Amino acid sequence: MRGYSLTSDDVVAATMGRWDDFAAENDGAGAMAHAVIGRPLFEMVAGPATVRFLEQTFYNSRRGQTVTGLLYRCDSPVQERLFVMQVVPLERGGLQVLHRQIRCRPLRPLPLCALGHLRYLRCSQCLSCNFGGPWVEGRRFQLPSGAMAEDAVCPACRAAAFVAEPEGQGLRPQHCG
């Protein structure tokens, strides 16, 4: 498990667990502890839909003084990785945000060559895609190099944000990959 703590203004105050190991394993020199501590979290989050979604999750945790969380995908070029994020309220409006990997499997996408230069919605949480119809599992496709994703959070991920329950209850990753 790895994570970070935030001040009441959502500035990264500390990292914990194997934070630097995970960053190094994923060529994330800019995500090492020394590079993120002291910076506003939302300077490092890509996409306005993702920022709004996380801001709402953090607000719910602070307002209710309860643990909240969500499932999200963070794939590497060769692995599909599913994580759970838990947001724990701290004193004075701070938060502890914990990330735990719950599934990892090989990523084997199918090519989608016939679509050419494509614009589509991509959920920043589960990586599902919307090409103008229903949301579909994103790992099924290898998009052409000209494809441009627009940041979004799909309806399933919005509905899956949860209030934590005792271990083994409540959390079901059924809608993710």
Residues 137 and 158: their CA atoms lie apart, in Å, by 16
pLDDT above 70 covers what percent of the chain? 81
Does the pLDDT value for residue 111 go beyond 60? no
Does the pLDDT value for residue 95 go beyond 90? yes
Which comes out higher in pLDDT, residue 13 or 118? 13
In this structure, what DSSP letter does residue 57 have?
H
Rg (CA), the chain: 17
pLDDT above 90 covers what percent of the chain? 44
Closest CA to 158 of 66, 56, 83, 82: 56
Instruction: Show contacts of 43-48: CB within 8 Å, 24+ apart.
Output: 46/124, 46/151, 47/124, 47/151, 47/152, 48/151
Does the pLDDT value for residue 59 go beyond 80? yes
Mean pLDDT in residue range 81-102: 95
Q: Angle at CA 149, nearest 5°, toward 148 and 151?
A: 145
Does the pLDDT value for residue 169 go beyond 50? no
Instruction: Name 163's bridge partners.
Output: 68
Show the tokens assigned to 102: 């719950």
Query: Tell me, what's the pLDDT at 109?
Result: 62
Kindly compute the dihedral angle of the four CA atoms of residues 28, 29, 31, 34, in this order, to the nearest 10 degrees: 160
Q: Which CATH superfamily, name and number, covers 2-162? A: PAS domain (3.30.450.20)
Residues 80 and 28: their CA atoms lie apart, in Å, by 17
Query: Tell me, what's the pLDDT at 175?
Result: 45
| pLDDT tens readout for residues 25-51 | 888 889 999 999 999 999 999 889 999
Domain ranges of the chain: 2-162
Residue labelled with tokens 């409006």: 93
pTM higher than the cut 0.85: no
Does the pLDDT value for residue 116 go beyond 60? no
